[in-house]
Structure 1
Amino acid sequence: MSEKHLQTGDELPAFGGKLRLFAMRFCPYAERSILVLNAKKIPYDHVFINLDQKPEWIFTFSPKGTVPALEYEQGKGIFDSNIINYYLDEKYPEVPLQPTDPLRKAQDKMLVEQLTGAQSAYYTAAFSSPSLTPSMVETYHKGLEVLQKELEVRKTKFLHGDEPGLVDYTIWPFLERFQALPLLGKQEFAIDKSKYDVLTKYIEEMKNVPAVKSYCLAPETHAKYIESRAKGNPDYNMLDTSAVCCMRPRKKKE
């Protein structure tokens, strides 16, 4: 479907009979659900929306107007990436993304929770630079250290095992965005290979996962979006369909 973000006054596209995900192209939470849909190879449509000028109909599917929201039947929706992803993994069990061991499942959830501080530091660094403090930088790196240590302990290619699972698809969207911060002059947020050797190897492995590769964006693209948002005019529609795969975006045609 189109990369255009629909806004106030735009009509809701006709329902096509598939699952439909309402998202915003640069939202890490929406990306979590996109990755799960891709990984499980579930047929779906997506509709991108402008979060500053929300179309009226989004509130039918998400009471607060947040994304992602999943239309699982025509006119019926569930919202929040965690709720959506657990629903998808249980509803469509053919490609299971969660461990069967209850303890490992709990450990995955705890790991995701331990990274929330790093995610908050990212948002502050990206969008509220004057509020950035040394303690936030420290919190960010503590999160990275926790993740690297967990990878070392598990001794697997991905956190889930030989193949990525829900924990990997939940964490990845922020790792994707963290790499944009040094391009914005925030060198203290760099993921230095000399310090994070296991983590940087994991990042490169994740970039090549088909579910990720078909949707992720290059650090330069994320940096460009962050800059537009920081100027008060987020450019939701800056992409063409070629600007994916975690590589440098193609130059726009003159």
Structure 2
Amino acid sequence: MKMTEKHLQTGDALPPYNGRLRLFAMRFCPYAGRCVLVLNAKNIPYDVVYINLTKKPEWIFNFSPKGAVPALEYQKGKALFDSNVINTYLDEEYPEYPLQATDPLRRAQDQLVVENFNTVITAYFTAAYNPQGLQPSHPEIFHKGLELLQKELETRGTEFLHGEEAGMVDYTLWPFLERFEALPLGNAEFALDKSNYETLLTYMESMKQLPAVTSNYLPPDIYAKFTDSFVTGSGGLRASEALSTKPL
């Protein structure tokens, strides 16, 4: 459930708190997307308040010291921030459908998968939001990281990294994998060719079928349109415009 259809900004009032978990997010933020996926996967009732990150409402700093998203209001006026912190809390506070591996070694291995993936994320952000800073090494870093992820999928031999059902590690990586599909629209060096990524692309198709993912999925052209608005210096694209082909 979403409390606001627009991204609230400076001067806008904080919507009243109704007692449910409340996630402060930005529709195109992959880190906030991680929390949305976990909340959806665990079927936890919650509300979303979207934040304009270029014109932040004054009250967001009461929930997140730096005004960053995501932030989760778990009691009135009390919040957690950082996607990994929030998702670990959600998985332990609402244990009915656990998303983390029960085996300590596998949990550690999952954390290493996420850690290794950070190099891919860095290359993605450069390609998407700072193309003028793109170096010849960035596509190589991007593909080496994805090859490592594909090898991990092949080694585990399950439909998802977590197993035959998706888990925390999958929902942590997915918001970025979803956005990677938009990169070839602006730079073919970042294309995920099927001849090189058959296992990874099969995994991505499996992720797209999950209810937690389908309810929040956006097609590549929407992400490309949004990021291009920043690259071209057009002042940022309003979420309502970017989402004109898919309702919130």
If the TM-score is normalised by the length of the shorter chain, which range does it land in?
A: over 0.9
- What's the CA shift string for 1:194-233, capped at 9, x where partnerless? 1000000001110110000000110010001001121331
How far, CA to CA, are the matches of 1:183 and 1:137 in structure 2? 14
The two structures have a TM-score, normalised by structure 1, of 0.93
Percent of pairs identical after alignment? 61
Uncovered stretches (5+) of structure 1, i.e. residues with no partner: 246-254
- Name 2:157's counterpart in structure 1: 155
- Name 2:63's counterpart in structure 1: 61
How far, CA to CA, are the matches of 2:150 and 2:247 in structure 1? 26
- Name 1:49's counterpart in structure 2: 51
Code of the aligned partner of 1:45: D
Classify the secondary structure of the residue corresponding to 1:10.
coil
Code of the aligned partner of 2:208: K
Uncovered stretches (5+) of structure 2, i.e. residues with no partner: none
> Is the 8 Å Cα contact of residues 3 and 239 (structure 1) preserved in structure 2?
no
1:212 aligned onto 2:213: yes
- Name 1:223's counterpart in structure 2: 224
The two structures have a TM-score, normalised by structure 2, of 0.96
- Name 1:248's counterpart in structure 2: none
**Match for residue 243 of structure 1 among 236, 243, 246:** 246
- Name 1:188's counterpart in structure 2: 189
Code of the aligned partner of 2:34: R
> Is the 8 Å Cα contact of residues 50 and 236 (structure 1) preserved in structure 2?
no
- Name 1:26's counterpart in structure 2: 28
Code of the aligned partner of 1:206: M
How far the C-alpha of 1:135 sits from its partner, in A, is 1.1
**Match for residue 15 of structure 1 among 14, 17, 22:** 17
How far the C-alpha of 1:33 sits from its partner, in A, is 0.3
How far the C-alpha of 1:239 sits from its partner, in A, is 4.5
Code of the aligned partner of 1:31: G
* Worse-superposed segment, 230-239 or 213-222: 230-239
Classify the secondary structure of the residue corresponding to 2:74.
strand
- Name 1:4's counterpart in structure 2: 6
- Name 2:168's counterpart in structure 1: 166
Q: How many residues align?
A: 244
Runs of 4+, deviation exceeding 6 Å = none
Classify the secondary structure of the residue corresponding to 2:124.
helix
> Is the 8 Å Cα contact of residues 225 and 242 (structure 2) preserved in structure 1?
no
How far, CA to CA, are the matches of 1:34 and 1:242 in structure 2? 21
User: For the aligned residues, what is the CA RMSD?
Assistant: 1.3
> Is the 8 Å Cα contact of residues 8 and 54 (structure 1) preserved in structure 2?
yes
How far the C-alpha of 1:3 sits from its partner, in A, is 2.7
